Amino acid sequence: MQRKLPLLTPENRAFWQGGADGQLLIHRCRACNRWFHPPAPVCPTCNSLDVGPESVSGRGTVVSFTINHQAWTPDLSEPYVIAIVELDEQPALRFLTNIVDSPVNEIAIGMRVSVTFLQCEDVWLPQFRKEAA
């Protein structure tokens, strides 16, 4: 089974397609300057409508992870790593993703990572890899 991909909408398009230009785009409020995710047409902190996607550094920290060992469908190449990464831009600004290109037994909470994009059709999945020391 291929990856299950999102339907693109005015709110999520920047997040899923920013990778075409090598950018991780996260929504930010221009009134209170807070970043937020998932993207939405309004700021969840101050309810300002002056919000939109902005480029972030793409650097962050693994706050939790799991190594999936279960062969849910034959096309999967387990083990693979599902992780939650917190971005450097703001505490608790985070999303679920994959950690790629590292042996699974090297993944740890606190590990420094940077974004890399996997293109699937018209979506660029923001995944992360271990940051070079």
Residue 93 C-beta: closest distance to another protein, Å: 10
* 106 part of the interface to another protein, by CB under 8 A: no
User: Burial, 114: exposed, middle or buried (Cβ in 10 Å; 0-12, 13-18, 19+)?
Assistant: middle
User: One-letter amino acid identity for 82?
Assistant: I
Longest dimension (CA), the chain: 48
Give the Cβ contact number of residue 122 at 10 Å: 11
Stretch that binds another protein, among 7-15, 23-31, 46-54 (CB under 8 A): 7-15
Residue 16 C-beta: closest distance to another protein, Å: 8
In angstroms, rounded to a whole number, what is the distance separating the alpha carbons of residues 90 and 99? 20
Query: CA 122, 39, 72 angle in degrees (round to 5)?
Result: 55
Among 63, 88, 90, 114, binds another protein (CB under 8 A): 63
* 46 part of the interface to another protein, by CB under 8 A: no
* 1 part of the interface to another protein, by CB under 8 A: yes
* 123 part of the interface to another protein, by CB under 8 A: yes
When the beta carbons of 49 and 109 are compared against another protein, the nearer one is 109
In angstroms, rounded to a whole number, what is the distance separating the alpha carbons of residues 129 and 132? 9
**Interacting residues toward another protein by CB under 8 A:** 1, 3-9, 12, 37-38, 44, 63-70, 72-73, 76, 80, 82-84, 94-98, 109, 120, 123, 125, 127
